[in-house]
Structure 1
């Protein structure tokens, strides 16, 4: 007899984290402006332009505006698109203020450090950010917190996301200190879309394995005290 534990949240039982978070589109959008900055800066610098930093900043802002417009045209949330454009504008202003192209990536380094800290704290205080994000996307608000199995799963899976921010910092900080603008640009792209996809791919099974056999899945949080939610079937599939 096989000892394999039933899958508590099989693919057919509901959306995966990738489907819920829509990571690919957002990650690709986030890569566009930094790539444009490095390309614009590099081309202008190779041509001997004294305004290479302005060309790089202009390219980043131009691509940022296009990305924001595309997101709005596709019906994405306006706040998310405008926040991304604002981030690009701030990064460009920082680089122009210091006169150093490498400082375009300073905001990204600070953002990753803050994110690693915020996700770690959220796990420690039992309000894992992954649960908040997924719960909001599914319209559950914080009902998942009443389910001790989902709470445990979201806490464990959130550590994967902490890991991605720490990995970026481990790569970005040495390159920033070395003033390696082009290497930072390559690393910024390489550690955005591919890393986000890997993070989603890893955190999904971590979350699923934290759920006991017969748990109805992400779509149906169960309250431990009231028994809220559909009954366990013992098969790991939703009824």
Structure 2
């Protein structure tokens, strides 16, 4: 048997493997729950004890979640980013000297993301479409279709609203020194708003994908028709003079 056979089998298996969905690429339900548990632990321990134990409890839980995900052979990046995010939030809280500082990092990230998404709409490069095309290698042919750009604009604009609402509400609670309510708002504005935004994103992606497939099919049929006409033109035998 040739040495290339195992490689060919691996390639065939990789091509048959279904492409992960947008939800799976973002970590799925496990990823979202894992990101929220350290925040919930921080809020509870801070309410029951103080900021110091709350910081260490949140970091400890983040590390345990990372270890658990690694043992389960899940994606390493969400585990590392989870520890990284909690560590930054804890460091900010330590530097600020108040427990509410733990939530500043999330507010800043939401503000930065909201600004980036808004600028992408103004630049006619809606980030929802750009990110989806980059993740799946579909290319940016959708930018030639005004309806597809509009759909991605709407989905991107919805994410802007999500990020803006988080910044407005949580910054207001931060300024009001409502640390417990700030933590509750962080959790409450996480899953529900993200779920709705994902639904809008999936709606836009499916509409654009349908148009892309229809356009590709039309281009393929047009190319086949042109090829047939070309063959018919050159394959037709010349008529002999009578």
The interval holding the TM-score normalised by the smaller chain is 0.7 to 0.9
Per-residue CA deviations over 1:69-119 (Å, capped at 9, x if unaligned) read 334345444233212211110110111122100010011111111111011
Greater gyration radius: 2
Aligned to 1:53: 51
Aligned to 1:192: 190
- Where do 1:155-170 residues align within 5 Å? 155-170=153-168
Say if 1:160 and 1:199, in contact at 8 Å, map to a contact too: yes
Aligned to 2:223: none
Say whether residues 1:34 and 2:45 are aligned partners.
no
Aligned to 1:154: 152
Per-residue CA deviations over 1:95-148 (Å, capped at 9, x if unaligned) read 112210001001111111111101111111122221122223323254544554
> Which of the residues 96, 99, 107 maps onto 2:97?
99
Aligned to 2:80: 82
Say if 1:150 and 1:221, in contact at 8 Å, map to a contact too: no
Say if 1:23 and 1:196, in contact at 8 Å, map to a contact too: no
Change (3 A) 1:74 1:193: farther
More RCO (CA 8 Å, sep 6+): 1
Normalising to structure 1: TM-score of the pair? 0.73
Say if 2:107 and 2:171, in contact at 8 Å, map to a contact too: yes
> Which of the residues 210, 218, 225 maps onto 1:216?
210
| Number of residue pairs matched by the alignment | 201
**Alignment partners' CA distance in 2, 1:71 and 1:144:** 36
Which has the larger share of helix?
2
**Alignment partners' CA distance in 2, 1:76 and 1:136:** 22
**Alignment partners' CA distance in 1, 2:162 and 2:96:** 28
Moved segments of 4+, more than 6 Å = none
Q: Secondary structure at the match of 1:127?
A: coil
- Where do 1:124-135 residues align within 5 Å? 124-135=122-133
Q: Secondary structure at the match of 1:37?
A: helix
Say if 2:155 and 2:197, in contact at 8 Å, map to a contact too: no
Change (3 A) 1:143 1:83: farther
**Alignment partners' CA distance in 1, 2:86 and 2:44:** 15
Unaligned runs of 5+ in 1: 1-13, 45-51, 233-239
**Alignment partners' CA distance in 2, 1:145 and 1:206:** 13
Change (3 A) 1:129 1:177: same
Change (3 A) 1:128 1:147: same
Change (3 A) 1:141 1:88: farther
